[in-house]
Structures are given as structure tokens and as C-alpha cells.
Amino acid sequence: MRLEIGDKVAVLDDVLKGVVVNIKDNLISVETLDGMIFNFTASELVKIEKEQHELTKFSDINNPLLKEKTNLNKSKKVFLKKKKTK
């Protein structure tokens, strides 16, 4: 995988995400959203092509299992009437 300055990346064994700001040989500097800069090797990073919230737009709404789950949630509404005791 070829990374370039400006690519969005995530760290494989950590919860860090950021943007590539410098590349020197096999050492890649990544700036996180809070402005911290960390150095990683290329094998520790994965390029983010699409953000997770963008991927959910393409979920398969015709999936039979998904339809079954949504129908189960709708049918669980039960209204109970309380009896008044004197």
C-alpha cells in the first residue's frame, strides 16, 4: 500500500486516526485530530478510503435478516390496561 501526505489513516493495533503529514523512508508521521503527531511504519497503518458513517448509507435494505429484525421490533408493542382496585 502506498501512502501519501494528506491521506487519512488509522492505526491497526490502536484507536488512533489521523492524516499523514510526513514520510521519510519507512517512517510515517501521522497527525491526530487533537494535533498530536505520532510516528509509525507503513505496516502499522491502513488507509481510510471511506468513513464508517458513509458506509452505512450503502447497507443492504433488502436483506431478509434485516427486514425480519425490523418487523420483530415493530410487533413487540403491547398496551396493558391497569385494573383499578377499591
CB 16 within 8 A of CB 48: no
Residue pair 17/9 in contact (Cβ under 8 Å)? The answer is: yes
With contact defined as beta carbons under 8 Å apart, do 7 and 19 qualify?
Answer: yes
Tell me the pLDDT band of 37, cut-offs 50, 70 and 90.
Answer: very high
pLDDT digits (tens, 9 = 90+) for 5-15: 999 999 998 88
SS3 33: coil
Other beta carbons within 10 Å of 9: 21
- Tracing cell 410487533 back to the chain, one arrives at 75
Instruction: Please give the model's pTM, rounded to 2 decimal places.
Output: 0.57
pLDDT in tens, 62-71: 666 666 666 6
Would you place residue 85 in the very low, low, confident or very high pLDDT band (cuts 50, 70, 90)? confident
